[in-house]
Amino acid sequence: MQTLTLPLSLLIIRLSAATFLAAWTSLKFRVPQSFEAVFHKFYGLDFVTQALAPVVGGLQMLIVLAFAIGILRTYTYAAVLLMHGVGTLASLPNMLDYTTYPNQLMLAALPTLGALVALFLLRAEDQFSIDGLRHKSQPHLAPGA
């Protein structure tokens, strides 16, 4: 009999990471000026305006929701890992100055990034997901799909 410890752990990681990412994504709708400021400050992209915030936020929210339910695991897990990884790397200089407020809050991105890497590597074991349940009922499907 197979233990449920790993699949249950992966479900907890996926849902907690999705909650974290959804909160950040929702800011694009609630505070679009911060979206513009982040792209100017961290990425040096001055052409990004508040008008793009709901478009980018909508796409990100769809990806985060697909990630949360575990559909198309290879693609959605990679997409959230890439989105979060780029943001984390861009804010790394601020994280190094963690004694200055609010930089220490950015440190929460590091364990989230680690959890997303682990989840991506273990995606085939994430049984409590749409893909995991579909694979169980149709074993001919690729497990990491």
CA 3, CA 77: separation in Å to the nearest integer? 23
Q: pTM of the full predicted structure?
A: 0.87
Return the DSSP state at 145: -
In this structure, is residue 95 part of a structural domain?
yes
Is position 23 within any domain? yes
Packed helices 73-90 and 5-30: angle between N→C axes, nearest 10 degrees? 60
Residue 51 within any structural domain of the chain: yes
Number of domains in the chain: 1
CA dist 107 and 6 (Å) reads: 26
Residue 98 lies in a domain: yes
Mean pLDDT by 10 residues, the chain (145 residues): 88 97 95 90 86 95 98 98 95 88 87 97 96 78 59
Give residue 100's pLDDT: 86
Could you count the other beta carbons within 10 Å of the beta carbon of residue 29? Answer: 13
Give the max Cα distance, the chain: 56
Residue 141 lies in a domain: no
**Domain membership of residue 105 as a residue range:** 5-134
Q: How far apart are the first and last CA of the chain?
A: 24
Q: How far apart are CA 101 and CA 137, in angstroms?
A: 50
Residue 80 lies in a domain: yes
The CA distance from 116 to 8, in Å, is 15
pLDDT value of residue 119: 98
